[in-house]
Amino acid sequence: MYATGLVCANCGDTYALEARYACDRCFGPVEPAYDTEALRRDLTREKIERGPHTLWRYADLLPATPAPNALPVGCTPLLPAPRLAAELGLRELYVKVEGANPTHSFKDRVVSVASAKAVELGLTALACPSTGNLAGAVAAQAAALGLDAYIFVPADLEREKIIAAAVPGATVFAVDGTYDDVNRLCAELAYDRPWAFVNVNVRSYYAQGSKTLAFEVAEQLGWRLPDQIVAPIASGSLFHKVHKGFEQLIDVGLVEGELPRQYGAQAAGCAPVAEAWERGDSEIRPVRPNTIAKSLAIGAPADGANDLAVVRRTAGAVAAVADDEIVEAIGLLARTTGIFTETAGGVTIATLAKLAREGWLDRDACTVAYVTGDGLKTPDAALAHVEPISVEADVDAVDELLGYVAA
């Protein structure tokens, strides 16, 4: 393994690759470090291309080894979207379709890496606080690995997402409170249980799974970097780690060029990062979520400050969109690509449209939009697009409604 240990992002203290919340000295976040020189020497595009058709083709760039019998995750389509591009006035647009993962969201990626590390460390169960997609991913991967699963969600979560966690056999707790309340509860529970809370005590490994969203896009584009990307921000980990992924590819010599400009997408009803961007400062002021995009409803994003740093480093921006824009964008994506996305994807596409309309995006650049989950997870949000026409079982009745005249 080319991962050499954990390093504190604040003070630089180092630790073994263990289950660790934070640095002992300064309580800063810890992240895996890699032997970059060895990777530059040993890792080639050809080696990656000979690997499995899962995210583990990038195992040398990850801090764990794949667990036996795990669900295969990753290598999702990068779909050219010419009709959507034409609608928005863009020349080259691709949609990364994360609904093609086993539980139909990008959360399968982070759980794949976290669960692999949990097995290595001998932890006896998978657990998580979740706004929905993570719950299903943890439950499914735990079932595949033969581990117990404990899921904690806000009590008002969409029923479809609770079902997806319960059916594989997870124990689901509906907590009276917001996601931030759920997260605090799990942080306390993680102290004295031999469980892998995937986004708490093994978060250092969990977060690394999002880098594969960058690795795959570069490979799928013929080992080139996109010029600009649009991605959702919830906790902020995905947005930050996609940047790290592109950066790592450059560092180890697999690609050349400038880092993509990154544009963050948030729902107006929960937009602490977008609000900080608008103010022009780095302070993330917590908010109480009020949006249909529940999978992005994290009022105190742990990586919000990191996301702002990425946006400023890459000359990007962060924008927020209203619930009605989200619903409209779900329909726009479906009508122009055939892809039905959940509300988080609606946030991404609505933000993409807003940025294009307001002139933030380079219209001639290669653009990638990350659509992180399937629309069947939040079907009620799309009801505005459902208008079936009542008709008798008669050809003439159909023709009359269509105004069709036979030749």
| Stated length of the chain | 407
Bridge-partner residues for 366, per DSSP?
92
For residue 211, the 8-state DSSP code is: G
Distance CA 63, CA 60 (A): 8
If we measure between CA atoms, which residue out of 156, 293, 302, 161 comes closest to residue 239?
302
Neighbouring C-alpha atoms within 13 Å toward the C-beta of 159: 2
pLDDT of residue 164: 87
Count: domains in the chain = 1
pLDDT, tens digit (0-9, with 9 covering 90-100), for 203-239: 999 999 999 999 999 999 999 999 999 999 999 999 9
Across the beta sheet with 78-80, the strand order is 78-80, 92-97, 366-371, 228-232, 261-267, 317-321
Distance CA 105, CA 339 (A): 13
User: Is residue 61 assigned to a domain?
Assistant: no
CB atoms within 10 A of CB 221: 16
User: Is residue 144 assigned to a domain?
Assistant: no
pLDDT of residue 60: 98
Say whether 38 sits in a helix, a strand or coil. Answer: helix
Q: Which residues contact 396 (CB under 8 A, 6 or more apart)?
A: none
How far are the Cα atoms of 122, 180, 382, 403 from residue 114, in angstroms, in the given order?
12, 21, 32, 57
User: Is residue 365 assigned to a domain?
Assistant: yes
Each residue of 83-98: b (16+ CB within 10 Å) or e?
ebbeebebebbbbbbb
CATH code: domain of residue 360: 3.40.50.1100
If we measure between CA atoms, which residue out of 118, 178, 107 comes closest to residue 344?
107
Residue span of the structural domain in which 211 resides: 78-104+207-385
pLDDT, tens digit (0-9, with 9 covering 90-100), for 235-294: 999 999 999 999 999 999 999 999 999 999 999 999 999 999 999 998 999 999 999 999
pLDDT of residue 385: 87
User: Is residue 232 assigned to a domain?
Assistant: yes
Q: Does residue 363 contact residue 328 with C-beta atoms inside 8 Å?
A: no
User: Is residue 67 assigned to a domain?
Assistant: no
User: Is residue 322 assigned to a domain?
Assistant: yes
- Helices marked H in 77-178: 82-88, 107-121, 133-145, 159-166
User: Is residue 127 assigned to a domain?
Assistant: no
Both structure tokens of 259: 């880092």
CB < 8 Å & 24+ apart, contacts of 169-173: 169/139, 169/142, 169/143, 170/135, 170/138, 170/139, 170/142, 170/143, 172/135
Which residue stretches of the chain have pLDDT < 70?
A: 407
User: Is residue 93 assigned to a domain?
Assistant: yes
Say whether 334 sits in a helix, a strand or coil. Answer: helix
If we measure between CA atoms, which residue out of 323, 327, 378, 340 comes closest to residue 162?
378
